Structure 1
Amino acid sequence: PVVWGKPNAKIMQISQAPSLNVHNTLKPFNDLSGKKLREKWYDIDDETFYDQNNFYIASLAHCYPGKSKSGGDRLPPKCCSEKWLRQEI
């Protein structure tokens, strides 16, 4: 599972599910989507984003859900968010 941050972090960032790269490195948003999130949405540097006092990073699924038949990633199973995300929030 990919979990990042401290429970008392200032911001909770919730994503759909980790990418394969994130799943392999165990570092959230360590991919192109993360670069876009940090640079375009938050307009912050990596050091600020990965400071666990600033961000608690959660997702609907803690593990990479695999590839879909039509390309892209599969949607995370609903049971993942029901079991884990609600507890994190």
Structure 2
Amino acid sequence: MLEKQHATKETAEALAELQQQIRSCRLCQEHGYIPVAHPIVSGRGTDRILVIGQAPGHRSVAQNRPFSGPGGRVLQSWLEAAGFPPGYLHDHTYLSSLTRCDPGRHKSGHGDRKPSPAEMALCRPYLNAELRLLRPKVVLLVGTMAIEAFCGKVRLEECIGSYIEDNGTLYLPLPHPSGVSRWLNDPEHKKLHQRALTILAHWRDLYHF
């Protein structure tokens, strides 16, 4: 028991140090990809579910909390549909993303700009370190970019409703919860999404989340 407590304390300390490194990171600003860096992090070493999104939006940065906008509310509703209680998203899941700063608006003026491969490469060591420290049982890959970062180039209808397992971690692809996305307007896509939530509900019962 003492050994386990020591390991947990070591993990918490290492995670706190990593989160401070993330908050202090200015790499994308220094490389000229964004005007001002404001990386955000949210999560605890005890969280067994890790959520990986694309990048925080301006609402999340303003509130210093990932998934603070409409997408977060939609994602929370999906968790509730899988049997999780209200507030679970922010209280009991580790919220991460491919990049930690708001990339800004798309040049067209509609929606957010997608982070570039170069930006994602600068941020990826932080995500890898989180995975290594947390060793989550379940990882929710939210949106096409997060899915492709772990599953390769794949269409949503080919992966939503299924999962992959790697070294004891279960990776569940989910569509992006943004209102801009029209993927869930298709009834067949809704069935695949429901299948994914059914899988998540089964894991909730199996692993006592």
TM-score range, shorter chain: 0.7 to 0.9
TM-score (norm 1): 0.84
Distance, in Å, in 1 between the alignment partners of 2:130 and 2:122 is 12
Match of 2:76 in 1: 38
Instruction: Using CA pairs under 8 Å that are at least 6 residues apart, name the structure with larger relative contact order, 1 or 2.
Output: 1
Give unpaired runs (5+ residues) of structure 2. 1-38, 132-209
Question: Quick check: which has more Rg, 1 or 2?
Answer: 2
Distance, in Å, in 2 between the alignment partners of 1:14 and 1:30 is 14
Match of 1:29 in 2: 67
Aligned match of 1:88 in 130, 151, 160? 130
Q: Contact 1:17/1:64 (CA < 8 Å) preserved in 2?
A: yes
After TM superposition, give the deviation of residue 37 of structure 1 in Å.
0.3
Match of 2:188 in 1: none
Whichever structure has more helix as a proportion of its residues is 2
Structure 1's consecutive aligned runs of 4 or more residues displaced over 3 angstroms after TM superposition are none
Correspondence 1:1-89 to 2 at 5 A: 1-39=39-77, 41-43=78-80, 44-46=85-87, 48-51=88-91, 54-70=92-108, 71-76=110-115, 77-89=119-131
Distance 1:12 1:31, change over 3 A: same
Which residue identity is paired with 2:86?
Answer: D
TM-score (norm 2): 0.38
Give unpaired runs (5+ residues) of structure 1. none
Which residue identity is paired with 1:73?
Answer: D
After TM superposition, give the deviation of residue 45 of structure 1 in Å.
0.9
Percent identity, please: 33
After TM superposition, give the deviation of residue 49 of structure 1 in Å.
2.3
RMSD, aligned CA: 1.4
